[in-house]
Chains A and B, each alone.
Chain A
Amino acid sequence: MVFANRLFPSPIAVGWEMWVLGTQANLLPDLGKTLLRAGLAFFIAMALGTALGIVLGRVRWLDRLFSAWLLVGLNLPAIVVAIVLYIWLGLTEVALISAVVINKVPLVVTTIREGVRSFLPAYEELAQALRLSPWRKLLLVFLPQLLPFVLAAARTGLSLIWKIVLVFEVLGSDGGVGYRVSVLFQFFDIGGILAYTGAFILVVLAFEYGLLRPLERRILRWRADPA
């Protein structure tokens, strides 16, 4: 055999390792911890980024004022933000989640801002001609145009968050998939690392195909090509 088994475990071996770690060790609590962090960071970043994106998309002078800051935010190395926050706030959940949010928000703001800028004035005119109340205008004209961009921001944002949460957990946390992978790395336990990675990927796929895509199909069913 060219490669040693220990470094290149078979899929069956990885699957077995996943089962053992899941039933007898900390795989599930670690996954839960990482998902909780990612979920919290995701919702905070989406809420904050959507609100800021709408404001910057609608108010031209604010957009001009903050566009340079947004550029800085988009290009700020994620690891620097995490290290600085860990120094300032200690190795805490708040520091970790804040670091993820700070890395994610500029991306959401940019996507939502572009979405708001792309709103068709024709529909605004229609809303005026129909004299829609602000609430009905929001429901019938504003949100439907915004939703495809919110979904795009959610998808790109999630892929970013999955990655950086793990990196930040490696850097400093007391549990979670990233933390456990870093521990397994100390022992060159490639089977364990791949088992954790596989479990994590399964969760991501379940989220994508079980939640995000059906939601997208439902929300965008009015399009000629919804998916």
Chain B
Amino acid sequence: MARGPGLSLQIIEKRFPGRPVPVFAGFALDVEPATVLAVLGPSGIGKSTLLRLVAGIDRDFHGTVELDGINAFQAPPPGFVFQDPRLLPWLTVIGNIRAAAPAMSRAAALAALARMGLAGEADAYPHQLSGGMQRRVALARAFAHNARLLLLDEPFVSLDRTLVDDMYRLISRLIGLTSPTVLLVSHQPQDAARLADRVVVLDGRPARIIADLRFPIPAASRTRQVLAAYEHQLGGFAQPGMPLPPA
């Protein structure tokens, strides 16, 4: 399995119509191959915009996105997990998986679903699944075509704690299996600390990187370090009452 590519992002300017200040201006970010990078920051700072620019969903900006030195928009599509499951409701579960990977055989798609604990749901329609199951289908879809670049936009938002733990385990295992380069956007420091090898914190307008942390250390310790950096840099921006994991 090929490891994830190096990602190089240079945004000269990204501006939304009618907004006087650009979201990004002179923004640069380089991500090493097969790195899990978490992007943290307050709501509206441009985290999701960053993912949309990398995915090619929004191409209305000045700048470049390169994967291993090649224009990212000419590379195979990334795996994308949106904030909502965003399944096509008129396709069955297996239809949704194969929408992302048309060359995938039914047997391979069934195997992918089995890895997610959804083996019996292949021919169900999305409205017949629970919210947690829909999230798992969305995750299976993102990994379906063996994407070397994976973009996760708040994948744990509005999930209860049990489901979040399930999703963590699934994502960690899938990342372990395929070693993609991952951009994880979140406003929860715990998400970043549990999954990421590196965390960047964005703030300001235009957005800039105010902290860049690399973690060659175990996950539990990471969480403490990310929380500390986050609260220090943003003046207690982290959610009040958020439990600290044991050191």
Q: CB < 8 Å: which of B78, B82, B88 contacts A144?
A: B88
Distance between B183 CB and nearest chain A CB, rounded to angstroms: 13
Q: Given A136-B102, A141-B88, is A128 in contact with B56 using a C-beta cutoff of 8 Å?
A: yes
Question: For B89, what are the chain A residues with a Cβ–Cβ distance below 8 Å?
Answer: 222-223
Q: Is the CB of A129 within 8 A of B88?
A: no
Tell yes or no: B84 within 8 A of A by CB.
yes
Give the chain B neighbours of A223 by CB distance below 8 A: 89, 127
CB of A138 closer than 8 Å to a CB of B: no
Residues of B within 8 A of A (CB-CB), count: 20
Contact check, B56 vs A126: say whether CB atoms are below 8 A apart.
no
B86 at the interface (CB under 8 A from A): yes
Over the window 43-73 of chain B, the binary record of Cβ atoms lying under 8 Å from chain A Cβ atoms (1 yes, 0 no) is 0000000001001110000000000000000
Q: Bound complex: CA of A132 vs CA of B84, how far in Å?
A: 20
A224/B88 in contact, CB under 8 A: no
Residue from the list B86, B90, B102 in contact with A122, Cβ < 8 A: B86
> How near does chain B come to A142, taking the closest CB pair, in angstroms?
11
Range, interface on chain A = 10 to 19
- Shortest B219–chain A CB gap in Å is 29
A47 an interface residue at 8 Å Cβ cutoff? no
Q: Is the beta-carbon distance between A126 and B77 smaller than 8 angstroms?
A: no
User: Is residue A131 within 8 Å, beta carbon to beta carbon, of the partner chain?
Assistant: yes
Nearest A residue to B75 by beta-carbon distance? A131
Beta-carbon contact of B125 and A222 below 8 Å: yes
Identify which of A128, A130, A224 gathers the most chain B CB atoms within 10 Å of its CB. A130
Instruction: State whether B86 touches A126 (Cβ < 8 A).
Output: yes
Contact check: which of B57, B82, B99 meets A140 at CB < 8 Å?
B99
Given A129-B77, A129-B80, A131-B77, the answer on whether A222 and B57 have CB atoms closer than 8 Å is no
Chain A residues, Cβ within 8 Å of B86: 122-123, 125-126
Among residues of A, the one whose C-beta sits closest to the C-beta of B55 is A129
Nearest opposing residue in chain A for B92, CB measure? A222
Q: Which residue of B lies closest to A219 (CB)?
A: B90
Instruction: For the complex formed, measure the closest distance between the CB of A183 and the CB atoms of chain B, giving whole angstroms.
Output: 49
Bound Cα distance A140, B95 (Å): 10
Whether B90 and A222, one on each chain, are in contact in the complex, defined by CB atoms closer than 8 angstroms, is: yes
Contacts of B127 in A (CB 8 A): 222-224
Assess whether B56 is in contact with A131, with CB atoms less than 8 Å apart.
yes
Residues from chain A with Cβ under 8 Å of B125 in the complex? 221-222
Is B100's CB within 8 Å of the partner chain A? Answer: yes
Instruction: Report A-chain residues with C-beta under 8 Å of the C-beta of B55.
Output: 128-129
| In the bound complex, CA of A53 to CA of B90 (Å) | 22
Q: Is the CB of A130 within 8 A of B91?
A: no
CA distance A129 to B48 in the complex (A): 13
How far apart are the CA atoms of A127 and B91 in the complex, in Å? 14
Q: Which of B77, B78, B90 has the most CB of A within 10 A?
A: B90
- Beta-carbon contacts under 8 Å, A195-227 to B: 221-224
Given A125-B57, A128-B56, the answer on whether A140 and B78 have CB atoms closer than 8 Å is no
B77 touches A130 (CB 8 A): yes
A122 vs B57: C-alpha distance when bound (angstroms) = 11
- In the complex, A67→B91 CA distance in Å? 34
How distant is A60 from chain B, measured CB to nearest CB, in Å? 15
- B101 CB to nearest chain A CB (Å): 9
Beyond the given pairs A129-B78, A140-B99, 15 more chain A to chain B contacts, judged by CB atoms under 8 angstroms and listed by A's residue number, are A123-B88, A125-B86, A126-B86, A128-B56, A128-B57, A129-B56, A130-B77, A130-B99, A131-B56, A131-B76, A136-B102, A141-B88, A144-B91, A223-B127, A224-B127
Mind listing 8 A-B residue pairs with CB under 8 Å? A126-B80, A128-B55, A129-B55, A129-B82, A132-B99, A140-B88, A140-B99, A222-B90
Nearest first, the 5 closest Cβ-Cβ pairs linking A and B are A144-B90, A131-B77, A129-B80, A222-B90, A128-B57
